[in-house]
Chain A
Amino acid sequence: MFRNVAQLVEIAEKENIKIAEVMIRQEMEVTERSRADVMKQMDRNLQVMEQAVARGLEGVYSHSGLTGGDAFRLQAYIQKGAFLSGETILDAVSKAMATNEVNAAMGTICATPTAGSAGVVPGTLFAVKEKLNPTREQMIEFLFTAGAFGLVVANNASISGAAGGCQAEVGSAAGMAAAALVELAGGTPSQAAEAMAIALKNMLGLVCDPVAGLVEVPCVKRNAIGAANAMIAADMALAGIKSRIPCDEVIETMFRIGQTMPVALKETAQGGLAATPTARRLEASIFGKPLNKGE
């Protein structure tokens, strides 16, 4: 079993297989299941992701009214063709938001690695799908690659906002997506690791400060930026750019930052954006009274 990214890359390189394949083989071994069974379960996850994106792009709104309709809004903007950044990146952003808008509306999603950060991985996958035309099997492999990197983060740091802040959720998701994008685009295992390191570095220190304790503001837009960040980190790694700090040390850094992050900034709705006057007003109007009186 691989315990860190260095080992994961080493196995893939030594056996001359994809990271997705390392993950599939390990899953079969650990859970004593057949390849067909494991692939089928991931295919089911992929279906749920597709359905969530499709539903979100039509425009879905949460009960609180705090979020919804932005994935649809951005798609309409892309159609006009007058955007500043790029079509694929904006498509990824829109599809990431679509998933999180469905999540905020208590719709059905697949946690990747968590529900609050569920938009990044499918958002980037379905955006590059238009460009790379992957087979169904390659799309399933994309999720195994993302999962392999996520497994290392979960075991060596955290994927919980309450334990490590948003860097542990959207940060991890962005790193996972960046690595999977590299592999899907034909990059090497070590380039995938570089992409993960670059993406996660840019998310270090990000706090979890949900307004009114809802997984809506700023979560939906953090998934948007997480997806954009993943796309850029993947492109940088594919261009041959390396992270000066190795991926495993970046993950360890994320853990240490999470440990020293104040509780008010770890999914308690007590600090950060959740403590702004506007957030407190929204909280009072949604629940009839403020959830927290502050520090």
Chain B
Amino acid sequence: MKKGLMVLFGCILCWLMFTSLAWSEEGVTDTEIHIGQWGPQTGPAAAWGSVARGTGDYFKWINATGGIHGRKIVYHMFDDGYNPAKTKAGVKELQEGTGIFGWASGVGTSPGLAVKDYLMERKIPWVGPAAGSLHWVSPPEKYLFGVYPLYYNEARALVRYAVETMGKKRVAVAYLNDEYGKNGLRGAVEELESHGMEVVAQVPVEKSDSDVKPHVMKLRKADADMVLLWTTVSHAVRIVGTAKAMNFAPQFMSTSTCSDFPLMTHISKGLWEGVICATFGELPDSDHPGMRHYKKEVFDQFASKDERWGMFYAAGIIFVEPMVEALKNAGPDLTREKFVAEMEKLTGFKGIGPEVNFKPFDPDDMYCRQGTRQTFLVQCLAGGKAKKLTDWITLD
């Protein structure tokens, strides 16, 4: 009798286990979809912390307008302080403790690299890492979709503009000595090579450097007429300021991560004026209908009172717009495989960022998972205002 009961109990257990697999996806219930994101709210990259907050407010607005097929998005955001060890610990805790359907955005190349293999081995979708690293898509991964323009392409666009439009002859690069900085350096080197030129100085900056005078001396010694900055926000400001103190005045250009002009102007005490940056989305003060819509519906209604309608806040929306579109298109019976299939069908998708195009998975084509090849260039004006120098540039 006892044995029979145990067998029955075992069968019930197996049934429960298999039915849960067959009927529901991890992180999805009848009423909820669990989505996670990490973002530095403290630490050296905290200036980019508003990306994760922007995504959170966007999800609040989606929930307030009925959710997705009747399900609310439950958003799990944690502060990793731009520390890859914390990123990995936080992602594992949420994934294995709560159960996350998919991961949205996530600031930083190094933090992202710390969890990429973990997520991909478990076939967990990750959309729109908030970093333009080649590591996401070269080689492509079936469950990882890049929305951020590649740093490599941003650097190429900037150098091309400097050489072809501004006639610059001596290009130097100051780069953060990690994968983020090296992606920018690689783009600059290759673009210059295509013009038969070389980088006149490659100056690595360490995260812990607070004195950049030796770096600027090297740039000045190379007599650069354009300096490409691929560093953190604070290093970029220090380099521009120290150059001013040394009476060294090349054209500075920088990556989209330094394109929040009101912030850059404030912390550089106005010295950021004239700097040209690549960018990944419409400008916060533009008349673009999408920007006006999100400003009114998302920012004005859901942002905390200390929040600022800036580039990085809007980026938190840009990077997850394709994810939300695919969640809608996947219909009420949501599974990861259906979601990935819908992501692959996104072509010509246009939100407030660049045009997004994905394709069915092809291990030999990184653009099946790198959704955009577009960026555009803006110049900082007095008071942190921006002037659009180009329209969207598409790079091959």
Whether both chains belong to one complex is answered with no
Q: Which residues of B contact A (CB under 8 A)?
A: none
